[in-house]
Amino acid sequence: MTELPKTFDPAEIESRWYAHWEDNGLFRPDRPGAEPWTIVNPPPNVTGSLHIGHALDNTLQDILTRHARLKGKDALWVVGTDHAGIATQMVVERQMAQRQQKRTDLTRDEFVDKVWEWKAESGGEITRQLRRLGCSMDWTNERFTMDEGFSKAVLKVFVDLHHEGLLYRDKRLVNWDPGLGTAISDLEVETREVRGSFWRLRYPLEDGSGHIEVATTRPETMLADMAVAVHPDDARYTALVGKRVRLPITGRLIPIVADEHADPALGSGAVKITPGHDFNDFEVGKRAGFRAGEMLNMLDAKAQVVQVSDGLIPPDFLGLSTADARWTVIAWLKNEGALIPHVDKDGTEYDAEPRTIQTPYGDRSGVVIEPWLTDQWYVDAKTLAQPAIEAVRSGAIKIVPKTWEKTFFNWMENIQPWCVSRQLWWGHRIPAWFGYPLWGADLEVTDPEVVGNPMAQLPTFVAEHEADALKLAETFYRKNWNLAGKTFSVIAGEEAGLEVNGDQVVAMIRRDSDVLDTWFSSALWPFATLGWPEQDPPRNGEGDHAQHGGGGAPQATPPAA
């Protein structure tokens, strides 16, 4: 008889038994005819490791799953990981930096190959921890949001939503991370309190009759100001609405508009409007009649000053960081007498009033986030939210405890368009190709109705496969160009272009370089992990990815549009 050890060693016992359970397939749903029972584990980041919240959440899921098995149900606990676009790309780029390499030293495909290598070597820490925790997950059906089967579902949903008008390209403000060089979500923005200043500026009226005073915490953005707003009920400014002021430094003439965004009790009651660099100002600008394409953008992707469309920013400012531009603007305004000093209680004059400013930072990069005007892909979240709202209101879906219904409705009824594009190399590349603008070619346009149509300015072809995009492009150009007597073809290239050589016409389309927000694919996790969009998902161990197909497993249904 083997002598019992004097001390209890849970690590040895648990690892031995877990390996026995997994090796014998005891976590696999393999009870033909039994009632199916499925729970889907929200996919953790492939770069991550478990924390105490994971431990609690996964323990509760494990209890439910084991209980279902004990009741004789065909229980499946879906497991897998999220490709974590930004986080994973950062990990690999940091490793490259240690070897004095940069991502841009490689081609896109070469870099993606490196990420896959990292995933194979180091991307399994969190799944090893889940095993160590004792989670009875079906590891034979482990999924990854970048695997081939999952990617098919992602591309299909993108294309379907676009065809239904629920996914579109638009020019709007985004949270731009200059450190990462990509748009990020609100949840990836960390607000910090920073010691700042409140400057007051004089904007002279065009007719020379006086000036209007505005106040700002970001004086550098005045280089892209497009209006001054006052409250419509503020009697001090009623006579000025509709007049124009001449901006110091640039000399740009901008209107004084009436808008309820201006708070009469804050500062002078007049506020500068920079629609290309402030979320509130963007909405004011739209109400004032500025189209997004007309709004001035004074920063590049690295948050350095660039020339705007009217060419009025002086050369001395070009290339400056926002911080350097701020102090250059202040010095210039002070020299021109356009800076109104702040007078302290003891009569001392300062350039500005000290303020604590709520400042957005990227939670990963640690740099200041800039509201930036750019073209991105958006999902019409408001329309998609309506069925969920109605389901809760009708009682078809119950929120427990009921007190959280208020929070749910607040989220869903105030939802904004969802920016789903990211300027990364790692992720699901957006299935859209850009073509050559109709009006840029020396070819007769046959359809007069396309004049002013954005599609004619930058034709975009959305399809799951390149071959389908080429067909869409050929149909579009043949419809809108007079190609009589010419041989015409469309090819894919690095850039959109056009080659006309006698009677030979070749149009080139290029694929969008952006990838999808990781959460776009994660949102499909309950569907794609169970075989959707395939009508007959393979049984365990079959096909390029094992699916839950045994024992009368439920067929996944596509996401509601």
150-170: pLDDT as tens digits: 999 999 999 999 999 999 999
Domain span holding position 103: 23-160+516-528
3-state helix/strand/coil string of 514-541:
CEECHHHHHCCHHHHCCCCCCCCCCCCC
Q: Compute the distance between CA of residue 538 and CA of residue 525 in angstroms, rounded to an integer.
A: 17
322 shares a domain with 207: yes
Query: Is the pLDDT assigned to residue 421 strictly greater than 50?
Result: yes
Using DSSP's 3-state secondary structure scheme, residue 198 falls into strand
Task: Tally the domains of the chain.
Answer: 4
pLDDT at 439: 76
Mean per-residue pLDDT for 270-296? Answer: 96
Give percent of the chain above pLDDT 70: 93
The CATH number that applies at residue 142 is 3.40.50.620
291-316: pLDDT as tens digits: 999 999 999 999 999 999 999 999 99
Is 285 within the bounds of a domain?
A: yes
Is 368 within the bounds of a domain?
A: no
The closest alpha carbon to 363, from 188, 185, 518, 517, belongs to 188
The closest alpha carbon to 276, from 386, 426, 171, belongs to 171
Instruction: Please enumerate, as own/partner, the contacts of 184-189 that have beta carbons within 8 Å and a separation of 24 or more.
Output: 184/86, 184/362, 184/369, 184/422, 185/419, 185/517, 185/519, 188/86, 188/362, 188/363, 188/364, 189/360, 189/361, 189/362, 189/363, 189/369
Query: Is the pLDDT assigned to residue 540 strictly greater than 80?
Result: no
Q: Compute the distance between CA of residue 37 and CA of residue 77 in angstroms, rounded to an integer.
A: 9
Mean per-residue pLDDT for 254-263? Answer: 97
3-state helix/strand/coil string of 273-321:
ECCCCCHHHHHHHHHCCCCHHHCCCCECCCCEECCCCCCCCCHHHCCCE
Q: 488 - beta bridge partners?
A: 505
320-374: pLDDT as tens digits: 999 999 999 999 999 999 999 988 888 888 889 999 999 999 999 999 999 999 9
Residue type, 48: G
Q: Compute the distance between CA of residue 419 and CA of residue 176 in angstroms, rounded to an integer.
A: 12
Using DSSP's 3-state secondary structure scheme, residue 256 falls into strand
215 shares a domain with 346: yes
148 shares a domain with 29: yes
262 shares a domain with 154: no
pLDDT at 561: 33
206 shares a domain with 307: yes
Mean per-residue pLDDT for 189-207? Answer: 95
Is 10 within the bounds of a domain?
A: no
Q: For 125-134, 411-420, 523-532, 541-550, which range has the lowest pLDDT when averaged over its residues?
A: 541-550
Query: Is the pLDDT assigned to residue 249 strictly greater than 50?
Result: yes
299: tokens are 């920063």
Is 173 within the bounds of a domain?
A: no
More confident residue, 445 or 524: 524
438-497: pLDDT as tens digits: 877 778 777 656 655 655 567 999 999 999 999 999 999 999 888 998 999 999 999 999
60-110: pLDDT as tens digits: 999 999 999 999 999 999 999 999 999 999 999 999 999 999 999 999 999
Query: Is the pLDDT assigned to residue 545 strictly greater than 80?
Result: no
Predicted TM-score (pTM) of this structure: 0.89
The closest alpha carbon to 271, from 261, 283, 279, belongs to 261
86: tokens are 């930004």
Is 474 within the bounds of a domain?
A: yes
31-52: pLDDT as tens digits: 889 999 999 999 999 998 989 9
Mean per-residue pLDDT for 533-550? Answer: 48
348 shares a domain with 199: yes
521 shares a domain with 493: no
342 shares a domain with 208: yes
143: tokens are 């999924």
405 shares a domain with 303: no
275 shares a domain with 229: yes
443 shares a domain with 520: no
Give percent of the chain above pLDDT 90: 81
Band (pLDDT 50/70/90 cuts) for residue 267 is: confident
| Beta carbons within 10 angstroms of residue 499's beta carbon | 12
- Mean per-residue pLDDT over the chain, rounded: 91
Is 264 within the bounds of a domain?
A: yes
Q: Compute the distance between CA of residue 512 and CA of residue 389 in angstroms, rounded to an integer.
A: 34
Is 139 within the bounds of a domain?
A: yes
DSSP class per residue in 442-469: SS-B--GGGTT-HHHHS-EEE-SSHHHH
Task: To the nearest 10°, report the CA torsion of 159, 164, 169, 174.
Answer: -100
